[in-house]
Structure 1
């Protein structure tokens, strides 16, 4: 059984991906000199509305999603030892009264409060769909989408790609892994849970997977298509209008000892993978039945390209079999 169910109305189902909001509260900086003077002035907590929430409000109002996926780095945990930024983000998300499903990124769990405290805040939120999960990591769970007739049409696997290198001692005790990447136990959880759900519903359904850090198979795909060269990096703009679109403007990797997720994705009929982590990469690329998409970075915290901020809209057909991905830009000027 999926951990959560969202019911589709008699229309297309719209999913909005937000990623790398990465709220920084300059008043909570642990170390002198960690931020530049202009960053200290800009990232005061009273500026959260203009730095992030205005863009979120615009995205939700204009796209009216049925489900919101938040693919990690909600807060810069090093600057949230009091937990106030996470609480503010949750309060904003709850104000939309729309189901939302988050995963952790590589910065969230740096807070001294620890990941278990953070998980409790999410679980307590009325509209938040979240479970820590029972495999390696701290955000592995499943959201099911049913149509108006109550038939299961799609699953969304929320997956922890781990990798919080600067995790606090509390987070490490709570199960956070410093090493980047999915591990075999997580893939086994995906396969076994999918088999159980298919047996329960007496059918197979397609799946999305949402996570934070890029995986090995995606890296290899980008190199195979000629969009990325890890040995001699140059920025690459795919352009718009084709099957593939978007930009690759920074280097990325899948960790020191990455493993392939592709066989598991194929077994689960995954046709869409959505992630973030690289703030100025936003390419969406298709190959062999799977669309791999970097979500458009949301909000103005941390590094970014001003004209490439916003969110990513995934519009799912009524039968759950087809979908369209479009980046939705917000601010074009600082």
Structure 2
């Protein structure tokens, strides 16, 4: 089939999508045409057929014209038949108004043709390449101060994940609420979107917990294994806030509060009891991962020399108050790695007291970055043990790497974060 004949229709669909869905007029001059079927990516070298964006365009148009389908709330997540569960972390998209929003900190040769649409294109490419089981957005999904309509910008920011029909979850950063919606209103909108597993807050803690978007997801054992009804990997999502409400700290970053740590502690203990009980009781605790936006002060412990992989290129933008969440995590012992965003030029992982502290690295093109240093995404994979019978058991290891938005979607900094003790 000759896809090039669909090129004008593809542009037409994108025009409809961004006029009606994003409330942005798409100027065709903002898409640099290489030939009849290609557009440039942000590195000004990569060519991607516009037909690759055809499904996303159709999705955006349909989302404008059709009722929003039911969310994925209550959906059971499980390891695949290959014994793996893969998570894609998207940190700091800073999405604004689509094709009219210019990029920050790219090479001069890239500036004229770079916009929010490059963020959309990067996400579509990395989703297609990695085929994750879950996508996690770790805050600053939109750059509120530049956003005309928070709902439309949020919809456009998450559109590639929704179009891919992959479960996803989002937490908020310190910039999301700077537009037309409060943090609570943003989460109430997010939980209504298709395929999301986000929550405004866990029902059992809604009456006392600080913030919005706190959540726990349980990843069950492989289908048809003896652990298919038991969570073998636990994911925690927390709202690290925006700016402190304490007058003397009003311009300082916020932190994870005592109420959130209490909820985490209680949830972790409950999940351990379920892990240890019949049927198929397991020993110890299932490993866990935690995702939030603002790093805690312990991230200051690392630089490019003592981090296991990755680089530090800016200061850690943590709260000046240490809330003790790092100690809470270490004391419980089930969470093996935490993943944050916020500081776009840092993408390292470092281990402190048995806990891996990892940055996602800046993803979005409207976010500040470093010209010539590619935008990036972090991938995490948990692998199951294979029993002597050939069936899948509990989690054996947790690995990570990063994908760069270059010509080849290069994979860098592969490393093992955690392995289970021999039994």
* TM-score (normalised: structure 1): 0.79
Distance 1:294 1:76 in 2: 19
Preserved CA contact (<8 Å) 1:3 1:143 = no
- Kindly tell me the number of residue pairs found equivalent between the two proteins: 296
2:315 is matched with: 251
**TM-aligned CA distance change 1:97 to 1:14, over 3 Å:** same
Task: State the SS of the aligned residue for 2:216.
Answer: strand
**TM-aligned CA distance change 1:66 to 1:8, over 3 Å:** same
Deviation at 1:63, TM superposition (A): 0.9
Measured against aligned partners, the alpha-carbon deviations of 1:16-66 in whole angstroms (never above 9, x if no partner) come to 11100111339999xxxxx99x99xx699x9432x2011111111111111
Match of 1:68 among 97, 110, 135: 135
1:174 is matched with: none
Measured against aligned partners, the alpha-carbon deviations of 1:289-320 in whole angstroms (never above 9, x if no partner) come to 22111002113112112423120111111232
1:317 is matched with: 383
Distance 2:220 2:234 in 1: 9
Task: State the SS of the aligned residue for 2:191.
Answer: helix
Distance 2:147 2:112 in 1: 12
Unaligned runs of 5+ in 2: 1-72, 246-250, 385-393, 409-423
Preserved CA contact (<8 Å) 1:238 1:283 = no
Task: State the SS of the aligned residue for 1:281.
Answer: coil
**TM-aligned CA distance change 1:117 to 1:27, over 3 Å:** farther
Deviation at 1:85, TM superposition (A): 1.1
* TM-score (normalised: structure 2): 0.64
2:343 is matched with: 278
Deviates most, 138-147 or 312-321: 312-321
Query: Within the alignment, does 1:140 sit opposite 2:214 as a pair?
Result: yes
Question: Which of the pair has the greater relative contact order for Cα pairs under 8 Å at 6+ separation?
Answer: 1
Query: Within the alignment, does 1:162 sit opposite 2:237 as a pair?
Result: no
Task: State the SS of the aligned residue for 2:186.
Answer: helix
**TM-aligned CA distance change 1:127 to 1:53, over 3 Å:** same
Deviates most, 277-286 or 112-121: 112-121
Deviation at 1:288, TM superposition (A): 2.9
Query: Within the alignment, does 1:293 sit opposite 2:352 as a pair?
Result: no
Structure 2 matches for 1:8-27, cutoff 5 A? 8-11=79-82, 12-25=84-97
Distance 1:250 1:6 in 2: 36
Structure 2 matches for 1:195-214, cutoff 5 A? 195-201=269-275, 202=277, 204-214=285-295
Bigger CA radius of gyration: 2
**TM-aligned CA distance change 1:331 to 1:27, over 3 Å:** closer
Distance 2:143 2:293 in 1: 14
Segments ≥4 residues shifted beyond 4 Å: 26-29
Task: State the SS of the aligned residue for 2:177.
Answer: helix
Task: State the SS of the aligned residue for 1:317.
Answer: strand
Structure 2 matches for 1:1-334, cutoff 5 A? 5-11=76-82, 12-25=84-97, 47-49=115-117, 51-83=118-150, 84-133=152-201, 134=206, 135-148=209-222, 149=225, 150=228, 151-164=230-243, 180-201=254-275, 202=277, 204-219=285-300, 221-222=301-302, 227=303, 237-238=304-305, 244-266=308-330, 267-305=332-370, 306-318=372-384, 319-331=394-406
Deviation at 1:142, TM superposition (A): 0.3
Task: State the SS of the aligned residue for 1:57.
Answer: helix
Distance 1:55 1:301 in 2: 13
Distance 2:314 2:252 in 1: 22
**TM-aligned CA distance change 1:263 to 1:302, over 3 Å:** closer
Deviation at 1:81, TM superposition (A): 4.1
Distance 2:168 2:160 in 1: 11
Distance 1:43 1:158 in 2: 37
